[in-house]
Structure 1
Amino acid sequence: MAAASRAVTLPAVVEELLSEMAAAVRESARVPDEHLLLLKFVFGSSALQALDLVDRQSITLISSPSGRHVYQVLGSSGKTYTCLASCHYCSCPAFAFSVLRKSDSLLCKHLLAVYLSQVMGTCQQLSVSDKQLTDILLMKKNQEA
């Protein structure tokens, strides 16, 4: 499911890299050095920052009984950002500026960390009610307003 949603929004080279990483992790329980080098080449310093977030287990998948889900990433600044992997969105200022406004980045470090945590199987899981998930999304929207 996650791979199918990324295929719609990410360039083919990134999708291929994430798929190869997932296969390598399934086979050997580690990410090969050549994939780490490719991540650094494609994403620059954001790759290292995203890997740090994954190492610190900062990514939580919040899901509800209706099947809706959202990711929350505890950023290095201590703020929590909401990521919607299905539509390639993060609530952080870097995503708004570098990805949407300037188009000089494919992803922010938070969204990359979400994709990497999916590949590595390190995402924290939290189940909440549909109302709680709605409240989480509305609270985030009110904080941004």
Structure 2
Amino acid sequence: MSSEDIRLLLDAALEEKFEPGMDTGPGDADGETQIDEEYFERLRFFFDDNLLLAAVDLVDRDSVIKLNTAWGHKRYQVLGTTATYSVFPGQAVGAKKTPSYCTCASFAFSVLVTDQQHMCKHLLAVILALRMKRALERTANADEMAQICSRFVP
């Protein structure tokens, strides 16, 4: 099975539980969705326990931030133990899907260079936080967005 086929299966597995209008299981008073055991087992098919638990830990520590702009742009950041990482979850643009990306070294090595993993813990944490409605939302103005983006320009 090709890497692309595995990623399509992974996308389907991640999204199936959280389709709009679907009963997503018990939540708390804030409207958060919990991950049930069946969904967790489905994730374990694709990710090793260390990666999965690290991503869930980031969500539990409220380390996922969704930055919204007045012009409708969304940017995701994850507060890691040593740095803050920008995460770009793949998005559908017309009939195509843009690839996912994270600025951490683990993504560059384990995903892009060696193809050992499908994603890093930061990218998985963003996906889970969005699905569980656990991402901290913040509004960012143009100056803040420029400052964030300037970190990646040499």
Aligned residues: 133
Give matches, 1:50-129, under 5 Å.
50-75=55-80, 77-86=81-90, 87-129=99-141
Query: Which of 1 and 2 has higher RCO (CA within 8 Å, sep 6+)?
Result: 1
Query: So what's the TM-score if we normalise by structure 1?
Result: 0.82
* 2:152 paired with 1:141: yes
Q: Deviations over 1:58-87 (max 9, x none)?
A: 000012111112111011x23111101134
Look up the match of 2:41.
Answer: 37
* 2:13 paired with 1:17: yes
- Work out the CA distance in 1 between the residues paired with 2:120 and 2:18: 20
Where do 5+ consecutive residues of structure 2 fail to align?
28-33, 91-98
* Displacement of 1:130: 2.1
Query: So what's the TM-score if we normalise by structure 2?
Result: 0.78
Residues 83 and 91, structure 1, Cα contact 8 Å, conserved in 2: yes
Quick one: percent identity of the two aligned structures?
A: 31
Q: Which structure is larger by alpha-carbon Rg, 1 or 2?
A: 2
Look up the match of 2:30.
Answer: none
- Work out the CA distance in 1 between the residues paired with 2:69 and 2:7: 29
- Work out the CA distance in 2 between the residues paired with 1:124 and 1:25: 23
Residues 64 and 128, structure 1, Cα contact 8 Å, conserved in 2: yes
- Work out the CA distance in 1 between the residues paired with 2:41 and 2:58: 17
- Secondary structure of 2:18's aligned partner: helix
- Work out the CA distance in 2 between the residues paired with 1:25 and 1:52: 24
Report which of the two has the higher share of helix: 1
Q: Cα 1:25–1:93, aligned 2, differ >3 Å: closer, same or farther?
A: farther
Where do 5+ consecutive residues of structure 1 fail to align?
1-7
- Work out the CA distance in 2 between the residues paired with 1:43 and 1:116: 13
* Displacement of 1:25: 6.8
Look up the match of 1:5.
Answer: none
Give 1:74's aligned amino acid: L
